């Protein structure tokens, strides 16, 4: 496999989609996606529901297998059946809409589990790291609580800390605030904003347009299983080129 | 409502028609129930206690004889449970495996064993195994026979438990890079185990009861001991103790199984 | 077991190729299968009647009947079927209860009636528990609505609550009857001439142990597998949502 390095700014792409296809039974969800995500970029992925935004993220993390094309994540081609998938999963943190915290483990144990089991670090080191991360997402006082005792916003912040514990090269957010009450959305977005400012590479599927405009380096608009438009938030929101993007924005911004 | 209703005791003021009838259907039904219970006690239990030949059960030697049988029953039950749990767990993982061959083989074994009478499986082990040259003490034949069957049932219990864990849990574990084995041990089993406890215990009860099947063929366990006891008394002492012995045997099984059931209920309520 | 003597005499008649004993004795196996079906059928009727009555008694507000019904289910479910079979076959005659009788000119042997009763009562205890859980799953409002329409207690039970409960418990009942058919195998030990009995008989005649018992496995599969499919079909029909969610949520590992 070869990795192109001929980027305008000279950096290596962390993730590269090349003609990626994905089917769910008869549904053709991704129809030849081509895209590069560079290190340090914050990408917001927009598009109508069912267009394949989440699928794109889930393919990066190999929660879905791609059916065609190449998907190169940190130098490993996921289109190759012999690829070391577990390594990729360790390098890419995923935050889910439904949090998916482990209900039988305490908050701290949720964060400590993967570093201990996957990276093999000691319990003490994992605890120290876990507490540090919980502090970073502002929830260290709940370290010994169980997920069920937390609010949705708190749970999602723990989920972010849990992913960060693997020192991922990229964080994937799959509609992280969609399952939250309005008053809790802010606390999660604040944590994400902090991550972006610290230089984390992020790919975010969200409906929070104001947040997208503020935080993103680049906005991808997906429709019909393809990337229709890609540009800075300013270009995209103020002056969309594609008809479908205009249509989408007019519907969204009315609310 | 008239002003009389305001007086201290309104019920005495109401016309007789409005009083609740003394002989309601529910009350008569309830009374009939207690009457039936009384009749059962009077005509069944009291004569059984008075006219039964309970004297052999006053002797220590009788209980020692039964205790030897009970030990075999418990030995077979405990070893069968341990073996079936381990094998059942492996079979469940096999059936859920992405490897088609392993999955089909496990499913085939599970479905075959679940479709056969456990008596037939035990019989098969006792009769066919020695013919093909496998020689073991008879408790081990019983353990093999019971485990062949019980492991298949355990596998299905484990599988249902694993499948009952939400898919998001699995995705979160995979997204963190946990390997399938670590995911099962650290994420799925702790959540599934609590849900599986009632089914596992009820299978355990079935297992304890099914040990008696081996006595039909060759195993010297509790039921066999009981049978020998009443056959011996029937030949020597005269007054038969068939029902008395069977009642005692049944009660021993009952105590074991009922305690297991109570433990299961306790765990279920906690969970 | 008197047949054993003549059995040995007949043994050399069996020519010696694999499966020959099975072909030669096929009528015995078929007769055994019919007996297995026959005794399972009667035990099913006994168990359903018992189970229905006991389930209703357990949810009624009558204290005495509740005690009787609870004692029945707990005792029969927590003791081995084989011990119960011994009670009915060897125990009851000691009380002077005769199990051999003739019913409209049909002779019913003592092993058959003892077997039917034991299997029926044992299974009935489980049927009672299944129906009871179904009754408890019906929302209280159903019964209250029926009573407020003027239906009597029994009408409410018969027309509103029981039909819903039975539908709910059909799949578990199917499983119970499938288990009952398998349990009937041990009745061969008291001389019910079912499939298991015939297998033992043919084995003693031919000494083709491996062939005989392996083919009996197939004969039992012919009875139990269709029952299993039927239960599966019931499950899909009456609980499609559960089956579907299980399939959807079921992540493979």
Q: What percent of chain C has pLDDT over 70?
A: 83
Looking at beta carbons, which residues of chain A come within 8 Å of B191?
Answer: 102-104
Residue B172: which of A62, A92, A96 has the nearest Cβ?
A96
pTM confidence score: 0.75
Averaged pLDDT for residues B174-178: 88
Nearest Cα of chain B lies from the Cα of C96 at a distance, in angstroms, of 12
* CA–CA distance, C26 with C199 (Å, rounded to integer): 10
Partners of C90 on chain B (C-beta within 8 Å) are 230, 242, 246
C-alpha to C-alpha distances, C128 to A139, B30, C52, C196, nearest whole angstrom = 52, 20, 6, 28
- Sign of the CA dihedral with B81 first, then B82, B84, and B88 last: positive
Does the pLDDT at position C152 exceed 80? no
Q: From the list A87, A94, A103, which residue is nearest B175 (CB)?
A: A94
**A108, pLDDT greater than 90:** yes
- CB within 8 Å of chain C, chain B residues 154-213: 162-167, 170-171, 180, 183-184, 188, 205, 209-213
Within-domain flag for C187:
yes
User: Phi/psi at A37 (nearest 5 deg)?
Assistant: -120, 125
- A interface mutation test: which of B98, B161, B176 has the most A CBs within 10 A? B176
Closest CA–CA distance from residue C104 to any residue of chain B (Å): 31
The average confidence (pLDDT) of chain B is 85
We report the CATH number of the domain holding residue C29 as 1.10.3720.10
Nearest to C210 by CA among C29, C20, C24, C4: C20
Cβ–Cβ pairs < 8 A, chains B and C: 168
Percentage of residues in chain B with pLDDT exceeding 90?
43
Q: Which domain holds residue C46?
A: 2-248
Q: Return the CATH superfamily for domain B56-270.
A: MetI-like (1.10.3720.10)
Identify the DSSP state of B263: H
Return the partners of chain B (3 or more C-beta pairs < 8 Å).
A, C
Residue C155 in contact with partner chain B when CB distance is under 8 A? no
Least-confidence region, from A186-190, B172-176, C81-85: B172-176
Pairwise CB contact (< 8 Å): A118 & B176: yes
Closest chain A C-alpha to B36 CA, distance in angstroms: 50
- Is residue C35 over pLDDT 90? yes
Question: Residue A238 and residue A225: Cα distance in Å, rounded?
Answer: 24
Q: What is the mean pLDDT of chain C?
A: 81
d(CA C123, CA C128): 9
Question: Which of the four pLDDT bands, split at 50, 70 and 90, describes residue C195?
Answer: very high
Instruction: Encode pLDDT of A189-233 as tens digits.
Output: 999 999 999 999 999 999 888 999 999 999 999 988 889 889 999
Cα nearest neighbour of C223 on chain B: B115
Q: How many helices and strands (H and E) does chain A possess?
A: 9, 10
Q: Give the SS3 label for residue A64.
A: coil
* Range of weakest confidence among A23-27, B202-206, C180-184: A23-27
- What is the ipTM for the molecules in this complex? 0.84
Please check whether residue C209 touches B, CB under 8 A.
yes
**A198 CA: distance to closest CA in chain B (Å):** 21
A198 vs C159, higher pLDDT:
A198
Residue B184: pLDDT band (50, 70, 90) is: confident
pLDDT tops 70 at residue B19: no
What pLDDT band is residue B166 in, cutting at 50, 70 and 90? confident
B-facing residues of C in 112-151 (CB < 8 A) are none
Q: Do C78 and B184 touch (CB under 8 A)?
A: no
What pLDDT, on a 0 to 100 scale, did the predictor assign at position C14? Answer: 47
pLDDT tens digit sequence for C202-219 = 988 888 888 888 899 999
Burial of A70 (0-12, 13-18, 19+ CB in 10 A): middle
Instruction: Establish, for the pair of chains A and B, how many residue pairs have beta carbons separated by less than 8 Å.
Output: 63
State the total domains in chain C: 1
How far is it, in rounded angstroms, from Cα B249 to Cα C153? 41
Mark yes or no for CB contact A166/B177 under 8 Å.
yes
- Give B110-122 pLDDT, tens digit per residue: 999 999 999 999 9
Does the pLDDT value for residue C177 go beyond 90? yes
Q: In what order do the strands lie in the sheet containing A170-174?
A: A92-95, A170-174, A201-205, A42-46, A218-223, A226-231
In a domain, C253, yes or no: no
The yes-or-no verdict on residue B9 having pLDDT over 70 is: no
Q: Is the pLDDT score of B5 beyond 80?
A: no
Q: Can you tell me the mean pLDDT for A32-49?
A: 91
The distance in angstroms from the start CA to the end CA of chain B is: 52
Contact C221 B35 (CB under 8 A): no
From chain A, pick out residues whose CB is under 8 angstroms from the CB of B195: none
- The residue among C43 and B271 whose pLDDT is bigger is C43
């Amino acid at each position: 496999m070869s990795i192109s390095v001929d980027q305008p700014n000279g950096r290596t792409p962390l993730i590269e989609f090349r003609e990626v296809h994905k089917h769910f039974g008869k549904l053709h969800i991704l129809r030849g996606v081509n895209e590069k995500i560079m290190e340090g970029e914050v990408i917001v992925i927009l598009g109508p529901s069912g267009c394949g935004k989440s699928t794109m993220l889930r393919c990066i993390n190999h929660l879905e297998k791609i059916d065609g094309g190449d998907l190169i994540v940190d130098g490993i081609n996921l289109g190759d059946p012999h690829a070391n998938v577990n390594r990729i999963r360790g390098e890419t943190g995923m935050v889910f809409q439904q949090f998916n915290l482990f209900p039988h483990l305490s908050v701290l144990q949720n964060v400590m589990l993967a570093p201990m089991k996957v990276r093999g670090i000691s319990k003490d080191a994992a605890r120290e790291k876990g507490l540090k991360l919980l502090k970073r997402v502002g929830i260290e006082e709940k370290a010994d609580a169980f997920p069920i005792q937390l609010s949705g916003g708190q749970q999602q912040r723990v989920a972010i800390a849990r992913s960060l514990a693997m020192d991922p090269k990229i964080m994937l957010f799959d509609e992280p605030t969609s399952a939250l009450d309005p008053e809790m959305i802010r606390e999660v977005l604040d944590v994400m904003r902090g991550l972006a400012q610290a230089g984390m590479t992020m790919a975010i599927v969200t409906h929070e347009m104001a947040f997208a405009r503020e935080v993103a380096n680049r906005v991808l608009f997906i429709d019909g299983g393809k990337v229709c438009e890609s540009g800075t938030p300013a270009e995209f929101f103020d002056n969309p080129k594609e008809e479908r993007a205009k249509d989408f924005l007019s519907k969204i911004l009315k609310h | 409502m008239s002003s009389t209703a305001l007086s201290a005791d309104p019920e005495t003021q109401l016309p007789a028609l409005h009083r609740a009838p003394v002989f309601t259907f529910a009350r008569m039904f309830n009374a009939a129930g207690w009457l039936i219970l009384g009749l059962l006690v009077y005509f069944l239990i009291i004569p059984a206690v008075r006219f039964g030949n309970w004297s052999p059960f006053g002797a220590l030697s009788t209980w020692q004889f039964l205790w030897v049988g009970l030990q075999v029953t418990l030995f077979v039950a405990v070893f069968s449970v341990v073996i079936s749990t381990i094998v059942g767990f492996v079979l469940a993982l096999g059936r859920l495996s992405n490897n088609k061959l392993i999955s089909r083989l496990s499913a085939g074994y599970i479905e075959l064993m679940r479709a056969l009478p456990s008596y037939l499986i035990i019989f098969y082990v006792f009769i066919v195994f020695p013919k093909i040259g496998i020689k073991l003490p008879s408790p081990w034949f019983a353990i093999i026979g019971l485990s062949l069957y019980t492991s298949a049932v355990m596998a299905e219990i484990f599988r249902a438990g694993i499948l009952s864990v939400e898919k998001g849990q699995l995705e979160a574990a995979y997204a963190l890079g946990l390997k399938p084995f670590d995911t099962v041990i650290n994420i799925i089993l702790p959540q599934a185990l609590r849900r599986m406890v009632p089914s596992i215990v009820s299978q355990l009860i079935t297992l304890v009861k099914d040990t008696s099947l081996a006595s039909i063929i060759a195993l010297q366990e509790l039921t066999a001991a009981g049978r020998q006891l009443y056959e011996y008394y029937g030949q020597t002492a005269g007054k038969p103790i068939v029902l008395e012995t069977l009642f005692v045997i049944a009660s021993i099984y009952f105590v074991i199984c009922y305690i297991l059931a109570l433990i299961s209920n306790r765990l279920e309520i906690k969970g | 077991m008197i047949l054993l003597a003549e059995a040995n005499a007949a043994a050399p008649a069996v020519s010696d190729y694999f499966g020959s004993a099975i072909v030669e004795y096929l009528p015995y196996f078929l007769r055994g299968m019919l007996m297995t079906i026959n005794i399972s059928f009667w035990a099913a009727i006994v168990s359903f009647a018992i189970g229905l009555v006991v389930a209703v008694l357990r949810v009624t507000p009558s204290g005495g009947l509740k005690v009787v019904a609870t004692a029945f289910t707990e005792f029969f479910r927590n003791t081995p079927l084989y011990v119960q079979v011994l009670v009915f076959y060897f125990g009851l005659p000691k009380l002077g209860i005769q199990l051999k009788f003739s019913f409209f000119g049909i002779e019913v042997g003592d092993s058959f009636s003892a077997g039917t009763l034991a299997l029926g009562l044992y299974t009935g205890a489980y049927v009672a528990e299944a129906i009871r859980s179904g009754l408890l799953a019906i929302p209280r409002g159903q019964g209250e609505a029926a009573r407020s329409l003027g239906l009597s207690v029994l009408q409410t039970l018969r027309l509103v609550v029981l039909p819903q409960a039975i539908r709910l418990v059909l799949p578990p009942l199917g499983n119970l009857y499938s288990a009952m058919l398998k349990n009937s195998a041990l009745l061969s030990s008291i001389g019910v001439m079912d499939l298991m009995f015939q297998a033992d008989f043919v084995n003693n005649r031919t000494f083709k142990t491996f062939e005989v018992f392996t083919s009996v496995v197939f004969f039992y599969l012919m009875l139990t597998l269709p029952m299993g499919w039927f239960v599966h079909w019931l499950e899909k029909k009456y609980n499609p949502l559960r089956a579907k969610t299980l399939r959807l949520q079921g992540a493979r590992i």
